[in-house]
Structure 1
Amino acid sequence: MLMDSGYDSYQQVDLDAQAAAASPHQLVVMLIDGLLDEVERARGHIEAGRLAQKGASISKSMNILIGLDSALDEKNGGEIAENLHQLYEFCQMELYQASLHNDVEKLSNVAGVMSNIREGWVSFGQQA
């Protein structure tokens, strides 16, 4: 148990260091990676019947989506920002339904959408 705590602390320090050195573009990719990890945790919790942990994972996922959505500049981002907003809202609804019905298929929908968005951000970062 104590070793897990040390490892978790090390991971958090590493993540904090990465975030401090990251560009805004890299931060978005890191947030999406965190969201995808948390969605997979939620899947595992549902499959194992750990409902309290499932709720915590879905809550974390929702908070990441809210953060991504609130960072959009809909004035200057035009159609891309509007499309991302709609996709983030779709993912939030899917997470809500996944939580309500313990539906791992809804989690797959979120993972698929967010993986596609992540690919776009990575591709954009390589071109910039």
Structure 2
Amino acid sequence: MTAYGMNENYDSYRMIDLESKAASSSPYELVLVLFDGLLDELARARGHIEHKRYQQKGRSLEKCLNILNGLNGALDYESGGETVQGLARLYDYCIYRLSDVSVSLEVAGIDEVVRLLGILREGWEGVSAARG
């Protein structure tokens, strides 16, 4: 089996695993599943850049941007107040940084986004635990 075929099989497994987790999750747990998938994909994008696999880098960053746009689009702007406004600004900043990384190929931008999202993920984990 080629490396591409193994990667394709792994992607299929990940998709099934993600769908399974999403189907049995509360809204807060679903956000954590999305964050975990996003952080995993950011690690893959970083590896693709380091190994000069630019086509795969593009697909990985596109997935990351789609997840960030989805998280941003799910925010409740009507009743969320300053918290939602802050999250929207953070998501927008991460989108901006990843768009820049796509062109500049500077992995420091990915590292910054991973740090920011890691902190944010911890907050969502606390909310999920408090609600659970």
Q: Does 1:65 align with 2:54?
A: no
* TM-score where L is the length of structure 2: 0.90
In structure 1, give the amino acid aligned to 2:122. E
* TM-score where L is the length of structure 1: 0.93
Q: Which residue of 2 aligns with 1:30?
A: 33
Higher helix share: 1
Are residues 101 and 9 of structure 1, via their aligned partners in 2, closer, same or farther at CA, if it must alter by over 3 Å?
A: closer
Are residues 10 and 55 of structure 1, via their aligned partners in 2, closer, same or farther at CA, if it must alter by over 3 Å?
A: closer
Q: Matches of 1:6 and 1:54 in 2, distance apart?
A: 18
Q: Does 1:41 align with 2:44?
A: yes
Q: Does 1:14 align with 2:17?
A: yes
Say which SS state the counterpart of residue 75 (structure 2) adopts: coil
Are residues 7 and 39 of structure 1, via their aligned partners in 2, closer, same or farther at CA, if it must alter by over 3 Å?
A: closer
Identity of aligned residues (%): 44
In structure 1, give the amino acid aligned to 2:62. S
Q: Matches of 1:60 and 1:108 in 2, distance apart?
A: 17
Q: Matches of 1:87 and 1:127 in 2, distance apart?
A: 23
In structure 2, give the amino acid aligned to 1:52. Q
Q: Which residue of 2 aligns with 1:113?
A: 116
Q: Which residue of 2 aligns with 1:93?
A: 96
- For the aligned residue pairs, the C-alpha RMSD in angstroms reads 1.6
Match of 1:51 among 38, 51, 54: 54
